[in-house]
Amino acid sequence: MKKTILLIAGGIIILLVGIAAGVLGASWMISNNKEKICASKIKTEISQNQLEDLVSLKPGKIIYGKVVSKDNSVINILSSFINPLNPQEKKDIAVKVNIGQKDEFIRLKKVAPGSDNGMIKSSINDVKVGDYLTVKVLNDRKIIYLPAI
**Predicted local confidence at residue 82, as pLDDT:** 84
CATH match for 48-146 among 2.40.128, 1.10.10, 2.40.50, 2.60.40: 2.40.50
pLDDT in tens, 8-21: 877 888 888 888 88
Residue 7 has phi, psi (to 5 degrees) of: -65, -40
Is pLDDT at 38 greater than 70 in this prediction?
no
- What is the model's pTM? 0.65
3-state secondary structure the chain: CHHHHHHHHHHHHHHHHHHHHHHHHHHHHHHHHHHHHHCCCCCCCCCHHHHHHHCCCCCCCEEEEEEEEECCCEEEEEEEEECCCCCCCEEEEEEEEECCCCCEEEEECCCCCCCCCCEEEECHHHCCCCCEEEEEECCCCEEEEECCC
**Predicted local confidence at residue 37, as pLDDT:** 65
